[in-house]
Amino acid sequence: MERFCLILGFFDGVHKGHEAVIKSAVEYAKKNDSKTVLITFKTSPSEYFAKGSEYIYTRELSYELMYKLGVDIIKERNFADLASISAGDYLKELVETYSPRAIFTGFNHTFGYNREGSPEYLEKEQAAYGYKYFCIPAYQADNEIVSSTLIKEYIKGGNLAKVNSMLTDLYTINSEVIHGEELGRKLGFPTANMIYPANCAKLPYGVYISETPYGKGILNWGIKPTVNGRFETLEVHIPGFSGNLYGENLRIKVVKKIRDEKKFNSLDELKFQIAKDTEECLRS
């Protein structure tokens, strides 16, 4: 029977702490002629215990980043199906299904009913089940333990320097380009309009320098108060780009904030400010 290296965890956003766990498993698997299987959940376990939960990224983007780090297989489970299973029964299921050569988790990983499964439990059971257990310690950045909860706080606070220092890549927003009101086009600055992914922690309203697959971009997130906007709008202007992006799932990497959202006295004032934002973006 083929033996696998298991990686256990939710891995929202895939920050540098997650990266340390995944890379350790991938490296071990390569040395031992094994494949890595990352076992995660479709939705955050916190949704089971509370009415809602915010994410750093959509699950699709998180999975893409996991594969990019070298994970061979991702298995998605429903947390509700496992919430009442004892740690012992869950571990036994994993062993019977994957015959693990090794199991990797972060320092604070828990599982099973009442979270009775822990790094200490996995270490204690390794001899009985014939796997090696590796607990990856906390990853620190600027003397802070990197966590998804902390990153989401920094996203909502607009602290992109902190966010980008903790993620494996620049903070990214991925969303399908949709039809908008085409005001930007009328002002001479066409934009790709999107919807901020639902249930994700959101940046404060403002204008941000960003990177797109088509070059640098000026990202605007807010309600467009100059034109009495009623709905939240996410749009990016890509200087020099004139193609059709409708229907494309666009990846926007957010670099830094230029300014807060502001209501201007006229469209001419708004146009002048967008031109200044564009100049600053291209200089950066």
Whether pLDDT at 186 is above 70: no
State pLDDT tens for residues 160-169. Answer: 999 999 999 9
pLDDT over 70 at 128, yes or no: yes
pLDDT of residue 184: 64
Residue 182 has a pLDDT of 67
6: burial class by Cβ within 10 Å (0-12, 13-18, 19+)? Answer: buried
d(CA 211, CA 238): 9
Whole-number Å distance between alpha carbons of 205 and 234: 10
Mean pLDDT over 268-283 rounds to: 88
Cβ-based burial of 123 (10 A; exposed 0-12, middle 13-18, buried ≥19): middle
Tell me, what's the pLDDT at 157?
96
Lowest mean pLDDT among 45-59, 103-117, 211-225, 259-273: 45-59
Q: What is the pLDDT of residues 225-247, one digit of tens each?
A: 887 777 899 999 999 898 889 99
Chain-wide mean pLDDT for the chain?
92
- What domains lie within the chain, and their CATH numbers? 4-145 (3.40.50.620), 170-283 (2.40.30.30)
Average pLDDT (115-129) is 95
- Quote the CA–CA distance of 263 and 228 in Å, as a whole number: 9
In angstroms, the CA 89 to CA 56 distance is 31
How far CA 144 is from CA of 141, 148, 163, 202, in Å, comes to 5, 12, 12, 21
